[in-house]
Every structure is written in C-alpha cells, then in structure tokens.
A = this chain, B = another copy of it.
C-alpha cells in the first residue's frame, strides 16, 4: 500500500487523498475475496463494488496482488503466538499445531493463491515472504535460537534447515494439495519436532 508521505500533515495544496475511498476499496476487496478466488478478482470488479474509479485504486496499489496482500494481512494475524518460556520443544510443537490450524480454511487458500501468483511475479513473492512468512515464523525461529542457548538443542543446529524441516511439509501439503492439513497430520508433525531438532 502506497501511503501518501504527508508527514507534516497535508502540506501540499490540492485535494487530499480520500481515506474513505481507501477504506471502501479494502472492504470491497475483502468481501469479494470471500466469494471468489484471487485469480477471478479484477481491479475493475473492485472499483465497481467499492464505488470508486480505477485510477484511484492504482493510486494506492501497484497491482491486484499487492491489494489482496494488504487485505489478507490486515484480517489475518500475521503472527501466531508462541510460548516464550518453558521447554522449547513443547513451545514449537504447539506452534506447529497453531500454524496448521491457521492455514486450514480460506486463509490457507489465499496464502496458496498468493504464492501461486507470485511464481509469475517474483517481487510479489518476495514481498509476501517478508510480510507473511518471515513474520509468521519469526517467533519459531527465535525459539530455536533460544533452545540453542539453553542447551535444549544442539548448539551447531542449522536454524534455517531446522525451520524448513519442520514447516516445509506444511506448505508442501498446502501448495501441492496431495494430502490434507488435517489434525492427524498436525499431531504427527508436532510429535516429530523433538526428534527433528535434537538428533
């Protein structure tokens, strides 16, 4: 989202950007996303639903994907809480359960659709990595680091690799869709955290 850089409140002459229009755009996009896939969403459709001109949308967002990303991140807690005290393995196991629960349903679909669109637009994928994946998984990463400090985990553990070993199977299922993100899977994966990190 490209916010106007009026730091010293509207110093420039001319009509100010309409926050109301912006809100209408976000709201219309959110509503439309409830009933159609990202691919079917169009800027023209959003403009019509929001009662707004197309140029106004383009004034705020570069592309459909950028808009969808903002809407998704606004309505989705982009950070799943993790227990910051106690055994790190238990904290991570629970985090795995919560991440899987979060990716079940429409939220997971949208994540998959954005990543899908991102295959054709690298900068979208990069932005989504930073704004979603990095943020979502940051607490888990920090917890692994903590475990290396406390001695609960091997100090030479490769954190990047460990993160991929734990969370890779989740996104594999989400994106390829060969198996469901159901509770048995979640429990099995959570139960594996210990052996994955400690051996």
Task: Tell me whether A78 is interfacial, beta carbon within 8 Å.
Answer: no
Which chain B residues border A133 with CB–CB below 8 Å? 176, 178
CA distance A117 to B38 in the complex (A): 12
Copy total for this chain: 2
Contact of A173 with B168 in the complex, beta carbons under 8 Å: yes
Do the beta carbons of B165 and A192 come within 8 Å of each other? Answer: yes
Query: A176's contact among B39, B117, B129, by CB below 8 Å, is which?
Result: B129
Whether, in the assembled complex, A175 has its beta carbon less than 8 Å from a beta carbon of chain B, the answer is yes
> A interface, how many residues as a size bin?
35 or more
Q: Return A187 CB to nearest CB of chain B, in Å.
A: 10
Which residues of B sit under 8 angstroms from A58, Cβ to Cβ?
none
Alpha-carbon distance A39/B134, docked complex (angstroms): 26
Residues of B within 8 A of A171 (CB): 168, 171-172, 175-176
Distance between A89 CB and nearest chain B CB, rounded to angstroms: 14
Most B CB contacts (10 A, CB to CB) among A39, A134, A164, A167 go to A164
Decide if A188 touches B113 in the complex (CB within 8 Å).
Answer: no
**With a CB–CB cut-off of 8 A, which chain B residues contact A177?**
122, 125-126, 129
Asked whether A149 is an interface residue with its Cβ less than 8 Å from the other chain, the reply is no
User: Which residues from B are CB-within-8-Å of A160?
Assistant: 179
Name A108-162 residues within 8 Å CB distance of B.
Answer: 112-113, 115-120, 122, 125-126, 129, 133-134, 158, 160-161
Output the least CB separation between A124 and chain B (Å): 11
For A38, give the chain B residue with the smallest CB separation: B120
Q: Decide yes or no whether A196 CB sits under 8 A from chain B.
A: yes
Contact of A188 with B161 in the complex, beta carbons under 8 Å:
yes
Please, could you name 19 A-B residue pairs with CB atoms under 8 Å apart, sorted by A?
Answer: A37-B120, A113-B119, A113-B120, A116-B116, A116-B117, A119-B175, A125-B176, A125-B177, A129-B177, A134-B178, A161-B185, A161-B188, A161-B189, A164-B172, A164-B179, A168-B168, A169-B169, A196-B196, A199-B199
